[in-house]
């Protein structure tokens, strides 16, 4: 389950920790950090130090850090948070919550921090601790249970789904392909080789989508869970859909993506599936299929255990005006804004090679972040290209076309 904690987002992990703490400390408070949290994410007890001492009470503070790796920069942020809260509130207890388990070297610096603040009882809730404290209802809301499928049964499933491709097989076929990320970061259509090489940056929206699936995948009959990724062209919908498919294969082999060249969704193939096997079906450009309403209604009537995740441009989906409330539990995930988490993750990926950064390479990390923040409302692709090449998208396209002219004439 530690693996699935890494699929959440900073906001979701903090919400999860707040719920875990609330179970153990009903009087705890989750702080809105939008105006500055003074080093406190969640606390239990009296904040005013004088009142606390007078009433002989204690203050416990939880600091939640969604760090998937611990390096110098992360350690500095942790120390800064601790220093702020100790200076302002002098808590008796301070607990650091992390979505990962520390290795022996990381544990040493944590022990050093404890020695630096001997007046404060400092503790660590790493991934294993957080999971161990989660009640069953929270586990079911955030985590998918692994589904083992015998090979023969899986082969029979694949034979039935001629219009759908096994994502496990697609990943395996592309894993050995040697490829550079240059084209991917210049906006080409994502491939399964890009996904197997982890070129894509983490998106904060992914956690919400995962939570929706986790909360609905347990049902074996009833309304069909249908999650839809929407956005503009270039917002990263297809890439997010493919990343979701890849991560789902760590839970189940029964993950399939609709072939892009078919004209109609073949619901007969899904209805022929065994009813004791949950199937994940992913459909890109889902709005183009005319039989979409009939597709979902049939799955609903025949109690097919399936979770459907689609992707479509927001304007096209709204234009279709499809009504699915009677047969689906519908969840829409719009990708219309780059979050700070998205931007940080993208810059981490681009920083792996100077040529990926383009014009950003000569700037400090703070300057790089500021450029992307100014473009946060733009499509991911537009923001990426304008930031890398330090020019408006139209000017970049014009330059690219101009460079192509000699090749087109030859």
The model's pLDDT over 45-72, given as tens digits with 9 standing for 90+, comes to 988 888 888 888 889 999 999 998 888 8
Which of 194, 96, 217 lies closest to 146, judged by CA? 217
Residue 220: the pLDDT is 56
Residue 408: the pLDDT is 43
In whole angstroms, give the CA distance from residue 214 to residue 360: 38
Residue 57: the pLDDT is 86
Residue 161: the pLDDT is 79
- Please say whether the dihedral angle defined by the alpha carbons of residues 182, 371, 369 and 233, taken in this order, is positive or negative: negative
User: How far are the Cα atoms of 33, 127, 283, 341 from residue 71, in angstroms, in the given order?
Assistant: 24, 17, 38, 17
Q: Is 221 exposed, middle or buried (0-12, 13-18, 19+ CB in 10 A)?
A: exposed
In whole angstroms, give the CA distance from residue 269 to residue 164: 9
Residue 293: the pLDDT is 92
In DSSP notation, 136-191 reads HHHHHHH-PPPB---HHHHHHHHHH-TTEEEHHHHHHHHTT----STTGGGTPPP-
In whole angstroms, give the CA distance from residue 376 to residue 337: 6
Domains and CATH numbers, the chain: 2-142 (3.40.1350), 151-335 (3.40.50.300), 340-409 (no CATH)
What residues in the chain have per-residue pLDDT under 50? 401, 404-405, 407-410
Distance of CA 54 to the CA centre of its chain: 45
On whether the CB atoms of residues 299 and 222 are closer than 8 A, the answer is no
Give 295-316 pLDDT, tens digit per residue.
Answer: 999 999 999 899 999 999 999 9
On whether the CB atoms of residues 102 and 126 are closer than 8 A, the answer is yes
Residue 118: the pLDDT is 86
In whole angstroms, give the CA distance from residue 197 to residue 222: 37
| Residue whose tokens read 């097989």 | 169
């Amino acid at each position: 389950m530690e693996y699935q904690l890494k699929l959440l987002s900073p906001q979701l992990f903090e919400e999860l920790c707040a719920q875990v703490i609330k179970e153990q400390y009903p009087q705890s408070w989750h702080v809105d950090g939008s105006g500055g949290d003074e080093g406190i994410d969640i606390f239990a007890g009296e904040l005013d130090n004088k009142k606390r001492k007078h009433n002989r009470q204690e203050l416990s503070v939880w600091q939640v850090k969604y760090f998937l790796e611990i390096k110098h920069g992360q350690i500095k942020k942790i120390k800064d948070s601790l220093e702020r809260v100790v200076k302002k509130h002098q808590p008796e207890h301070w607990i650091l919550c992390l979505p990962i388990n520390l290795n022996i070297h990381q544990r040493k610096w944590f022990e050093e921090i404890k020695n630096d603040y001997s007046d404060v009882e400092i503790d660590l809730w790493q991934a294993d601790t957080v999971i161990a404290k989660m009640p069953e209802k929270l586990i079911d809301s955030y985590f998918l249970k692994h589904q083992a499928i015998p090979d023969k049964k899986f082969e029979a499933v694949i034979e039935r789904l001629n219009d759908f491709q096994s994502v496990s097989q697609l990943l395996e076929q592309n894993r050995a392909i040697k490829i550079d990320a240059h084209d991917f970061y210049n906006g080409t259509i994502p491939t399964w080789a890009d996904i197997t090489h982890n070129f894509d940056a983490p998106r904060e929206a992914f956690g919400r989508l995962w939570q929706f699936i986790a909360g609905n995948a347990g049902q074996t009959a009833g309304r069909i869970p249908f999650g839809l990724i929407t956005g503009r062209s270039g917002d990263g919908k297809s890439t997010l859909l493919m990343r979701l498919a890849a991560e789902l294969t760590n839970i189940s082999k029964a993950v399939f993506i609709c072939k892009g060249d078919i004209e109609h969704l073949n619901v007969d193939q899904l209805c022929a599936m065994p009813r004791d096997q949950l199937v994940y079906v992913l459909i890109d450009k889902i709005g183009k299929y005319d039989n979409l309403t009939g597709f979902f209604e049939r799955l609903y009537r025949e109690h097919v255990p399936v979770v459907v995740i689609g992707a479509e441009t927001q304007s096209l989906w709204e234009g279709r005006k499809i009504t699915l409330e009677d047969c689906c539990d519908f969840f829409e995930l719009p990708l219309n804004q780059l979050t700070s988490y998205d931007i940080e993750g993208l810059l981490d990926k681009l920083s792996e090679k100077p040529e990926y950064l383009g014009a950003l390479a000569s700037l400090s990390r703070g300057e790089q972040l500021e450029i992307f923040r100014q473009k946060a409302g733009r499509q991911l692709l537009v923001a990426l290209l304008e930031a890398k090449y330090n020019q408006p998208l139209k000017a970049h396209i014009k330059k690219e076309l101009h460079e192509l002219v000699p090749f087109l004439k030859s």
